[in-house]
Structure 1
Amino acid sequence: MSFWWYIIVAFFFFLSMFIVKNTRAKRKNLPPGPPRLPIIGNLHQLGSKPHRSMFKLSKKYGPLMSLKFGSVSTVVASTPETVKEVLKTFDLECCSRPYMTYPARITHDYKDLAFSFYNNYWREVRKMTVVELYTAKRVKSFQYIREEEVSSFVQFLKESASLEKPVDFNQKLVKLSGNVICKVAFGITLTGSKLENTFEEVVQRTMEVVGSFAAADYFPVVGKIIDRITGLHSKCEKVFKALDSFFDQSIKHHQEDESIDDDIIALLLKMERGETVLGEFQLTRNHVKGIILNLLLAGTDTAANIVTWAMTHLITNPRVLKKVQAEMREVIKNKDDITEDAIERLEYLKMVIKETFRINPVVPLLIPREASKDLKIGGYDIPKKTWIHVNVWAVHRNPDVWKDPEAFIPERFMDSEIDYKGLNFELLAFGSGRRVCPGIGMGMTLVHLALINLLYRFDWKLPEGMKIEDVDLEESYGLVSPKKIPLELVPILTQWT
């Protein structure tokens, strides 16, 4: 046979395989979805806020919807029932991650916890971080750090109040939560660090990078070129270098001061040196950086954003603001020294926080999952390797679940057992199942403590000339969704300040 004969045979062989594959795919009972354009599929329908676009599409195509992003087949779960199937019924089959180019870069090739594939390494890292940081006992042991940092923040607010100067909540709360997590996990503060002046920007840009719908993930041949043109590749490299430099500084600080031996970096460095073990794994410096990356970002953004959104909704709903402050001032009763012990007695504050999570979920689209085998969910076929998006935004805005979903009404949680800790699929602030955020207790303790001090010690007003209707409620998009236009409020000294 001639060379060209082999080429012809090979061509028809692969053509037949392609036809068979597509014929089989057509026979599958896939979830419904919108029509697709050649090559790009449904990418043109995502817009600047994919969680909103997917919610709008799901109203037409159903609670479990098929989309195609370039070469990637995707399904989107948008109701408590379909989300429960993904996160509980088929949790084991859906709890791994697909490969994503820029999260892989930021996390030193998946050496972290949030983006890591579901495997033995992930299980060991999760177990270690829970024991070292997130047990109730460990969270309690860090109480003095949280109270010190909140006290420092209160002092700043007093100075701003005396000058009648507006406070940028987006910026100040990111630094507050960043200082807490840096002291707890890294043994240093942001003040004097390489991220002191750029921390808020680096955190936000990192979340934009890891939450992006990157061309490199959907177009294997030309995707990286497209990302260089759009600037995504450059943005990723900038935040990677900024974070890496900060981690190097933190690690060097530990190496130079051997008395620091009770935080997570100290433990990880011992594992790197072989003095202690992480199951079967020998950690490298990249493992250390990947693990502490999650601690820094998750520990910072959740608390900062939920407090900012809570204050946004309170200032635009004077009735709710007055009610939550009245509860605090009745329960705490003129105590200058506010501690975390007050949290359990503030029932209306808990409702305010739940409603804030509902109307502004910190992570509107959970990090994508990947089906590890062929599944059947809701009567539909979900082929192996399908990416699965859980649209928390859609669940929280579903009018069949929530009456007046666009309105901020904390009382909807009165006499309700619905909580945000991952067991109720109507409210998923931190995910659920194996991938539920392990730091709920740590983050929420700071959220409560910060809000108690903000609302008990101060009254609040908008900057001069600004009205309630001028407060913008739009979110930015990334893995998390901070307030797009920073919230600025003027603190007013009270008799308890």
Structure 2
Amino acid sequence: MDYYTLVLGSIFALSFLYIIARLSSSGSKKLPPGPSPWPIIGNFHLLGAKPHVSLANLAKVYGSIMSLKAGQITIVVISSSTIAKQVLQKQDLAFCTRFIPDALQAHNYCRFSLTWLPVCPQWRMLRRILNTNLISSNRLDANQNLRSQKVKELIAYCAKCSQEAKVVDIGEVAFKTNLNLLSNTLFSRDLADPFSDAKAELMDVISSIVDVAGKINLVDYFPILEKIDPQRIRYRTNIHLGKLFKLFGDLINERLEEKKRNHTEKSDILGVFLNHSAENPEEICRNHLNSMLMDLFIGAIDTTTSILEWAMAEILRQQEILKKAQAELAEVIGKGKPIEEPDVSRLPYLQFIVKETLRLHPPAPLLIPRRVDQDVELYDYIIPKGSMALVNVWAIGRDSSFWKEDPLVFKPERFKSLELDVRGNDLDLIPFGSGRRICPGFPLALKLIPVMLGSMLNSFNWKLEAGIEPKDLDMEEKFGAILSKVHPLRVIPSPL
């Protein structure tokens, strides 16, 4: 009897100790802190119209790694460079899968897109083709004259407006310049008239895709609503994507007919893709072509357009910055002279302006959402399988623990003493992300933006339309797939 009592007592004691150990272990491996969720909707109501701002404010309460519940989805938000380094670099394999918005299921776009595919052999193959044929150093150098020509067309249009005292919509002219640069790189032709006052036809289509894809969609957080599509977001994306895919299809068919008729080859990106597809049909099909072109149109055109518009807006708000930039340009280049890409290395203040714009106005303020495919341990917390991970680069760019002097103020001079790179190595400034899922188009953007911006500043004086005072310029942000201005920047150029 005593023996059995001892055995039972021992089993009970061991079981009790095991339970205590498990509880204490799970206590140290729990979800990051965050606001208490409401029934059914979770913390959905806290996201607001500008989630990057709402989440930055919540991080001040709950910390730089926090969790929320939005409907059926757990969201983990990273708001510091230290934790971002862990997610984007040290543990990037665990966090490199994309969280795919329901809207991008339209036309099966996400199944063939470099942006949305998981890291897999197909993704690596597409990335290799893109790197080799579009953004390698050799290809960028080969296209330098094309970029220079398109910037000169931009300046020529602004000169025409200056002579006629016409208003220039910075977003529109930047969009046309970027569109024609990309379309010539891809298809060897312009898709917009650089000297027309009319808005580019494709601007509304691409802007609509960016706008719709960037909206908070209930289906993403309540998958049970997928078949209903209550906000009609997938339905509208399907229409807009269909228009672009039809354009791509027409251009591809036209090229194939031309090749058949003339037996000639063009060395643009479309020619490269078509040759690769003909030689390796199992690797690249028409769907891959459409999705790759779509990635480039959205990633290259709207991103660069947004950055240029924000930079001009910030400069015009502070006339002393405009004067400093123009003084540097006049001294180094000569007033009114065209700027070429090799000149940029001799224009440190212009480079500071671009960096400061990217700090305060990163094109994708939460980067592209990521999904974890299995439970992941991160700083003694467990990020459960299926969670969405967001890196709030907008908040990181305003973190007062690093950006100590006036972090909310546009001050290009801060970079005199801060040797930070925007290419993903310095995690305090990662407008294009970091790690293997860094935006592949950033080398092109960093070539083009300083030349466009510097050329506009060195060719004209600029004033806001309708006599608006610089201090009254509206700087309200519009959240979406790309962070844009709510109100377009409209200015009048005049001779220097």
1:266 aligned to which of 244, 264, 271: 271
Relative to structure 1, is the Cα distance of residues 405 and 107 closer, same or farther in structure 2, using a 3 angstrom cutoff?
Answer: farther
For the aligned residue pairs, the C-alpha RMSD in angstroms reads 2.1
Per the alignment, residue 17 of structure 1 pairs with none
2:213 aligned to which of 192, 210, 213: 210
Code of the aligned partner of 2:42: G
Per the alignment, residue 491 of structure 1 pairs with 493
Code of the aligned partner of 1:475: E
Relative to structure 1, is the Cα distance of residues 334 and 73 closer, same or farther in structure 2, using a 3 angstrom cutoff?
Answer: closer
Q: Distance in 2 between matches of 1:196 and 1:263?
A: 26
CA shift, 1:490, in A, is: 0.7
Between structure 1 and structure 2, the one with the greater Rg is 2
**Per-residue Cα deviation, 1:113-159 (whole angstroms, up to 9, x for no partner):** 11111211111111110001111110011112111111111111111
CA shift, 1:465, in A, is: 2.4
Q: Distance in 1 between matches of 2:100 and 2:485?
A: 29
Q: Distance in 2 between matches of 1:196 and 1:352?
A: 28
Per the alignment, residue 18 of structure 1 pairs with none
Task: Give the count of matched residue pairs.
Answer: 464
Whether the aligned pair in 2 keeps the contact of 1:182 and 1:188 (CA below 8 Å) is: yes
Code of the aligned partner of 1:456: N
1:465 aligned to which of 464, 467, 475: 467
Q: Distance in 2 between matches of 1:192 and 1:237?
A: 27
Per the alignment, residue 303 of structure 2 pairs with 302
Code of the aligned partner of 1:431: G
Given the alignment of the two structures, is residue 76 of structure 1 paired with residue 77 of structure 2, yes or no? yes
Q: Distance in 1 between matches of 2:368 and 2:334?
A: 43
Per the alignment, residue 456 of structure 1 pairs with 458
Per the alignment, residue 104 of structure 2 pairs with 103
Per the alignment, residue 290 of structure 1 pairs with 291
Code of the aligned partner of 1:222: L
Per the alignment, residue 152 of structure 1 pairs with 153
Code of the aligned partner of 2:476: E
Q: Distance in 2 between matches of 1:465 and 1:417?
A: 38
Whether the aligned pair in 1 keeps the contact of 2:336 and 2:460 (CA below 8 Å) is: no
TM-score by length of 2: 0.89
Q: Distance in 2 between matches of 1:347 and 1:176?
A: 24
Relative to structure 1, is the Cα distance of residues 125 and 25 closer, same or farther in structure 2, using a 3 angstrom cutoff?
Answer: farther
Alignment of 1:218-257 (within 5 A): 218-225=221-228, 227-228=229-230, 230-257=231-258
**Per-residue Cα deviation, 1:367-412 (whole angstroms, up to 9, x for no partner):** 1112233222122111222211111111111121212121010111
Q: Distance in 2 between matches of 1:460 and 1:192?
A: 23
**Per-residue Cα deviation, 1:16-50 (whole angstroms, up to 9, x for no partner):** xxxxxxxx998851100111111221111111111
Per the alignment, residue 409 of structure 1 pairs with 411
Per the alignment, residue 201 of structure 2 pairs with 198
Code of the aligned partner of 1:200: M
Report the 3-state secondary structure (helix = DSSP H, G, I; strand = E; otherwise coil) of the residue aligned with 1:221: helix
Q: Distance in 1 between matches of 2:292 and 2:251?
A: 13
Q: Aligned residues: percent identity?
A: 34
CA shift, 1:464, in A, is: 3.4
Alignment of 1:20-419 (within 5 A): 28-105=29-106, 108-191=109-192, 197-225=200-228, 227-228=229-230, 230-258=231-259, 259-273=264-278, 275-276=279-280, 281-334=282-335, 336-402=337-403, 403-419=405-421
TM-score by length of 1: 0.89
Relative to structure 1, is the Cα distance of residues 107 and 312 closer, same or farther in structure 2, using a 3 angstrom cutoff?
Answer: farther
**Per-residue Cα deviation, 1:388-447 (whole angstroms, up to 9, x for no partner):** 111111111112121212101011111322121100111111100000112222112111
Report the 3-state secondary structure (helix = DSSP H, G, I; strand = E; otherwise coil) of the residue aligned with 1:351: helix
Report the 3-state secondary structure (helix = DSSP H, G, I; strand = E; otherwise coil) of the residue aligned with 2:485: coil
Which has the larger displacement, 285-294 or 261-270? 261-270
Q: Distance in 1 between matches of 2:97 and 2:158?
A: 44
Whether the aligned pair in 2 keeps the contact of 1:190 and 1:196 (CA below 8 Å) is: no
CA shift, 1:82, in A, is: 1.3
CA shift, 1:182, in A, is: 0.8
Per the alignment, residue 446 of structure 2 pairs with 444
Q: Distance in 2 between matches of 1:305 and 1:192?
A: 20
Alignment of 1:416-427 (within 5 A): 416-427=418-429
Whether the aligned pair in 1 keeps the contact of 2:193 and 2:200 (CA below 8 Å) is: no
Give unmatched runs, 5+ long, in structure 2.
1-24
Whether the aligned pair in 1 keeps the contact of 2:335 and 2:458 (CA below 8 Å) is: no
Report the 3-state secondary structure (helix = DSSP H, G, I; strand = E; otherwise coil) of the residue aligned with 2:418: coil
Q: Distance in 2 between matches of 1:119 and 1:267?
A: 22
Q: Distance in 2 between matches of 1:116 and 1:351?
A: 34
Whether the aligned pair in 1 keeps the contact of 2:179 and 2:192 (CA below 8 Å) is: no
Report the 3-state secondary structure (helix = DSSP H, G, I; strand = E; otherwise coil) of the residue aligned with 1:448: helix
Code of the aligned partner of 1:289: N
Q: Distance in 2 between matches of 1:25 and 1:190?
A: 58
Structure 1 residue ranges (4+ consecutive) displaced by more than 6 angstroms after TM superposition: 24-27
